[in-house]
Every structure is written in structure tokens, then in C-alpha cells.
Homo-oligomer: A and B are copies of this chain.
Amino acid sequence: MLILNAAVTVDLLIFTVQDGEFRVLLIERALDPFKGSWALPGGFALEDETLADAAERELVEETGIRQGAAHLEQLATYGDPGRDPRGRVVTVAHLALVPGLPTPQGGSDAKSASWIPVGAALKKRLAFDHRRILGDGIERARAKLEYSPLAARFCEETFTVAELRGVYEAVWGHELDPRNFHRKVTTTPDFLIPTGGTTTRNGGRPAQLFRLGQVETLHPPMLRPE
């Protein structure tokens, strides 16, 4: 006989880069416990759903983003006995990277949602152990930009080298040399694919537009300054 000993939930760290800032989607809780506090969006895993499916469902509910448009991966699982006053709740935290302003936001229920810069989010009083989860997620996201092409998931379908650089600078909180950055990303095989088009949306000389190539891992990695 199987004894159900926990409630399993899925929480989401939905990150974006907007106005040059690395931001996370937080909701204001409408219900107890932690009513009125900021928290990560999330919910219970349904009976016939994988953890990844539950995370994807929450992501769509929360952002309205279309299936598969965002990067979604499991981050870690948090299950300390005292983390939820209601009892043993084990939450599987997921990381989502979405392009800037996917849709204004607003969950299906009455709670309000906001894109908060991660530095400010860490200073808020967050519900449950969400501050710890957020800290872990920020570090994971920063690390992933080093060896994966995921920075492009913060951009639109096509983007310029400078826009991609802006993502790295926002997430890492560091200025990068535009010339070295350009050389690095354009010489890494299969990272960026030129579309042939150009844009002047950022002013100045027209910039080439790229789309994300099919690399999985960057060899050698991008290097975080410092």
C-alpha cells in the first residue's frame, strides 16, 4: 500500500529582460497563508500530468505565452518540513526564460502580477522559502548564459548582436566590450544564424539580424567578467 505523505506543487521562476533589466514575475498573494505577500507563481501538480506539463500549464496561465515559445527547465526541489504552515508541501521549482513583454501578464485569477527587477525582488519579503528559490534561480540563469545559447530566449525571434549583448549585460549586471562580444558570438559555430535582414530600430548604422542556431552548448563558453 502506498502512503501519500506530501502535497506536490510546481513553482515558477519566470525571468525576462525588459528595459535593460533582469526581471522576475511575482504575484501578490490573494489568499492565506502569506496573504498580501509577494510570491512565485505556482500550483498543485494535477493527477495525470508530468511535472514538466504542470510547469508548462502554469507558465501559459501566467503569461499567456504560446506553448514552446519559452525555455523551461527544472531548477530544484524544496521540501523542508516547515516551509509551508499548512503541512508537508514539496515544490518542484522550474525556470522559464521568456522574451521581453511576452504579454502584459495577469493570471487567470484575481491576483496581480508584476515584472520585478531581481535585485528588488530579493529585497522584498517573499512568501514561503521563495527568496531562497529565487536566489538559486538567479544564479542558475546567470551560469547558464555562460555555456548555453539561452540568452537568445530573452530576445525576439530575430535580434541584433547588440540586443543579445544587452541581455548578457542585464543578467550579469556587467558591461561587456561590444567588439569582443561581437567577435565571440559571431565566431562561435552554429550560435547565430544571419537572416540576411537588417534593422535600424536601435538607431545608427543598420545592424544585421540573426536567429538562434542549433548549438546546445557553447565551446568555449562565454566568460562572465570578474
Q: Which residues of A contact B (CB under 8 A)?
A: 2-8, 44-45, 47-51, 74, 76-81, 84, 86-90, 92
- Is the beta-carbon distance between A90 and B8 smaller than 8 angstroms? yes
Chain B positions within 8 Å of A44 at CB level: 3, 5
- Is the beta-carbon distance between A77 and B80 smaller than 8 angstroms? no
Chain B positions within 8 Å of A47 at CB level: 5, 81, 88
- Is the beta-carbon distance between B6 and A79 smaller than 8 angstroms? no
Given known contacts A2-B87, A86-B2, A81 and B48 CB-to-CB distance under 8 angstroms: yes
A79 interface neighbour in B3, B50, B76, B79, Cβ under 8 Å: B50
A89 interface neighbour in B2, B74, B79, Cβ under 8 Å: B2
- Is the beta-carbon distance between A81 and B49 smaller than 8 angstroms? yes
Chain B positions within 8 Å of A86 at CB level: 2
In Å, the complex CA distance between A2 and B88 comes to 9
Query: So how many copies of this chain end up in the complex?
Result: 2
- Is the beta-carbon distance between B5 and A88 smaller than 8 angstroms? no
- Is the beta-carbon distance between A3 and B8 smaller than 8 angstroms? no
In Å, the complex CA distance between A6 and B54 comes to 14
Q: Other CB < 8 Å A-B pairs besides A2-B7, A77-B92, 13 of them?
A: A3-B7, A5-B7, A5-B8, A5-B44, A5-B47, A6-B90, A8-B79, A47-B81, A50-B80, A51-B78, A51-B90, A76-B77, A77-B77
- Is the beta-carbon distance between A4 and B2 smaller than 8 angstroms? no
5 A-B contacts, Cβ less than 8 Å apart?
A2-B87, A4-B88, A6-B8, A48-B81, A90-B92
- Is the beta-carbon distance between A45 and B6 smaller than 8 angstroms? yes
Given known contacts A77-B77, A79-B45, A79-B50, A90 and B90 CB-to-CB distance under 8 angstroms: yes
CB distance from A193 to the nearest CB of B (A): 25
Chain B positions within 8 Å of A87 at CB level: 2, 4
CB distance from A115 to the nearest CB of B (A): 27
In Å, the complex CA distance between A51 and B8 comes to 13
CB distance from A177 to the nearest CB of B (A): 19
In Å, the complex CA distance between A202 and B13 comes to 50
Q: Considering the complex, give the chain B residue whose CB is closest to the CB of A44.
A: B5
In Å, the complex CA distance between A50 and B77 comes to 11
